[in-house]
Structure formats: structure tokens, C-alpha cells
Amino acid sequence: MNAAIVTGILLAAAFGALGGAKIAKSSSMRARAEHVGFSVERYQLIGAAEVLGALGVAAGLVYAPIGYAAATGLLALLAGAVLTHLRAGDPAADLGPAALFAAGTVAYLLALGPV
């Protein structure tokens, strides 16, 4: 199994689960939305973007341009997450998950190879 498949599957599963929890309004996600000053509905929209990104990453394993587009969108989403956490006054340790997801996304892009 090559690196693109491994990172793509892991990334799609992780973003799919995270986005699904936001869409489902899980109690932890409702608390997180409140903490950063977002409405639950806005957090659900972010979750929908994460799920769509996950689908795009998976589709990118079949047709790479979709994967590039999805991963680029997810990186933009993660940049927004970092800014949101900083604006909320969260400690640097709270940026860890976003950094980990960003590293995984970059690894996926590198594994896809050149356009």
C-alpha cells in the first residue's frame, strides 16, 4: 500500500469523524463551539466542510486533482482553526490537533506527488 493511500484513508477517516461530530451536535462539539464564540449552526457548517473535504481526499486517491483541491481547502480550514484558537486565548497546547491534522494533510499532498 503506498503512502498516498495510507495518508488519504487516515485523513478521510479523521476529518469525516470530526466533521460528523460537529454536524451531529455532539456535546463536546457544542461546548467547543461556545468556547470559541461560534453558534452551533456555524460549527455544523464547518463540520460539513470537513466531511466534504474528507470525501474529496478519498476521491483524490482515484483522481488526484480532486485530492489536491480538497486538501488545499482543508489546510485553509485548519488555518482558520488556528486563528480562532489564538483569538479565543487558548494555550499553544490546544493548537496541537490542528497542527497534527495540517501535518497529515501536507503528508497526503506530498504523497500524491506532482500535479
**HEC secondary structure over the chain:** CCHHHHHHHHHHHHHHHHHHHHHCCCHHHHHHHHHHCCCHHHHHHHHHHHHHHHHHHHHHCCCHHHHHHHHHHHHHHHHHHHHHHHHCCCCHHHHHHHHHHHHHHHHHHHHHCCC
Query: pLDDT, tens digit, for every residue of 45-84?
Result: 999 999 999 999 999 999 999 999 999 999 999 999 999 9
Q: Where are the domains of the chain?
A: 3-112
Stated pTM of the model: 0.92
Query: pLDDT, tens digit, for every residue of 18-49?
Result: 999 999 999 999 999 999 999 999 999 999 99
